[in-house]
Amino acid sequence: MNVVLICREYPPDKLAGGIATYTHLMASGLVRLGHRVDVICQGDERPVPLVTEYGYAIHFTRPYIFRPLLKRPFAWLGLYKRFVWLVDWWGWSYAAYRMLRQVMKSHPVDVVEAPDFRAEGYACSIRQYIPLVVKVHSPAAMVIPNNGGRSNLDFRLAVHLEKAAIKNATLVTIPSKAMAAWLSNTWHIHIRPEHIIPNPIDAVQFSPAPAHTSTDADSGNVILYVGRLEQNKGVLVLLRAFEKVVRQVPTATLHLVGPDNWTLDGERKSLRSLLISLLPDERIRDRVILYGKVSRPELPSYYRRAAVCVFPTIFFDNFPYTCLEAMACGCPIVATRSGGMTEMIEDGVSGLLVPPGDCESLTTALVRMLRDRDTAQKCAQAARHWVEQTCAQERVVISTVNLYERIADAFHSK
């Protein structure tokens, strides 16, 4: 098959986002199975596409921002300043559609896939020359309000594009039942069970450390968090819990890996600048290490050094790659009963689940994993086994290709 994937945030190391990670794994997996893949992403346009070492081509394009229209004839209305979200989302969607048409001039395309987030596939959804698959990661309609973003008229209108792109798609796929339930309850978009496909992972790159390797985990003290440092991810609750953990396990340290994207009451602030007020005890504060953003090739070494990985999301996490990566690396997991993580982790078997926002329960679970190494090891082994059986890259890509072929045959037989 000839497949086009749209992903504004590609490559995965640029923003370290889950959508970019998914796109790379799907593209490389498809090529490995003999399919042709083109990825459309944001960047300076080039006369010829960039062919990656994995064998898929990348086409760069910039969003169409209709500033002349909005700034000159209607400058007195201030439309551009009032509708930045709407113009930006539509501008990128239209640019991706234009690039898709350019790709189709060079070779046939059987199917195009775009993420739900910020309506990247909207323009393709209203001009369907080929089947459009929308992969639901987490709509901005959910993510931004959960992180303290304000919902104004501009944002509400932009969300209509996001919703329309999903509703108009030829096929909608989704990695978790929890996200399917949200779509059904919120937007009355119903997903068939066979269209719920987990995210793929490279279980070779993300794998446990060799048995003979000595790591910091041998001392049983490293608590690792990987992800954006933001309100929805529960970092504030984690810091409060860590303060209690140290009183019971004095050797514990907390390692925070990820970009500082902290938001509080709708205002963006640096978590580093908030640490003094969040952890007034300097001795505890010194046991918190902020690494910032780490490249994907480096991530496995961080997971392998951890005694326990923690994912304390408060509101919703669809099918987080950070949790999936930690499970693949054979890490003991403590996570909240949030979104798809309840489907990824079996409480007491492949990890420990706690209520979102419950500092005491989070503390208890972390202390248990640090002290009870037998339980931690059993959970780690079960987590790795689940990843191999459910989310291995080739297995997920084959399931997705089966859907691609089915909708392509139905679309072209009309």
| DSSP string computed for 260-309 | B--EETTEE--HHHHHHHH---HHHHTTEEEEE---GGGHHHHHHH-SEE
Q: Listing from the earlier edge strand, what are the strands of the sheet with 352-354? A: 288-292, 253-257, 222-226, 308-311, 333-336, 352-354
pLDDT for position 271: 82
Structure tokens at 234: 């529960």
Is the model more confident about 189 or about 73? 189
Is the model more confident about 158 or about 223? 223
Burial class (CB in 10 A: 0-12, 13-18, 19+), 148: middle
Residue 220: pLDDT above 70?
A: no
Q: Tell me if 2-200+392-412 shares its fold with 216-390.
A: yes
pLDDT for position 266: 54
Residue with tokens 């923690």: 310
Average of per-residue pLDDT across 401-410? 95
pLDDT for position 217: 45
Query: Across all residues in the chain, what is the average pLDDT?
Result: 90
Specify the pairing of strand 222-226 against strand 308-311.
Answer: parallel
Give the pLDDT band (50/70/90) at residue 67: low
Alpha carbon 126 to chain centroid, angstroms: 26
Range with the largest mean pLDDT of 124-128, 142-146, 295-299, 311-315: 311-315
> Rounded to two decimals, what is the model's pTM?
0.91
pLDDT for position 296: 86
Structure tokens at 399: 């399931």
Least confident window among 3-12, 76-85, 130-139? 76-85
Compute the half-sphere exposure of residue 236: CA atoms within 13 Å on the CB side of its CA.
Answer: 17
Burial class (CB in 10 A: 0-12, 13-18, 19+), 112: buried
Give the pLDDT band (50/70/90) at residue 64: confident
In the chain, domain spans = 2-200+392-412, 216-390
Percent of the chain predicted with pLDDT > 70: 90
Burial 30-58 (b: 16+ CB within 10 A, else e): bbeeebbbbbbbbeeeeeebeebeeebbb
Residue 12: pLDDT above 80?
A: no
Residue 264: pLDDT above 90?
A: no
pLDDT for position 87: 83
Residue 261: pLDDT above 80?
A: no
2-200+392-412 belongs to which homologous superfamily? Glycogen Phosphorylase B; (3.40.50.2000)
Structure tokens at 343: 């489907």
Residue 118: pLDDT above 70?
A: yes
Topology given in CATH for the domain delimited by 216-390: Rossmann fold (3.40.50)
Least confident window among 271-275, 285-289, 346-350, 363-367? 271-275
- The string of pLDDT tens digits covering residues 353-400 is 999 999 999 999 999 999 999 999 999 999 999 999 999 999 999 999
Rounded distance between C-alpha atoms, residue 99 and residue 106, angstroms = 11
pLDDT for position 71: 52
Is the model more confident about 336 or about 296? 336
Residue 214: pLDDT above 70?
A: no
Percent of the chain predicted with pLDDT > 90: 71
Give the pLDDT band (50/70/90) at residue 15: very low
Rounded distance between C-alpha atoms, residue 96 and residue 41, angstroms = 8
Cβ count near 381 (within 10 Å): 14
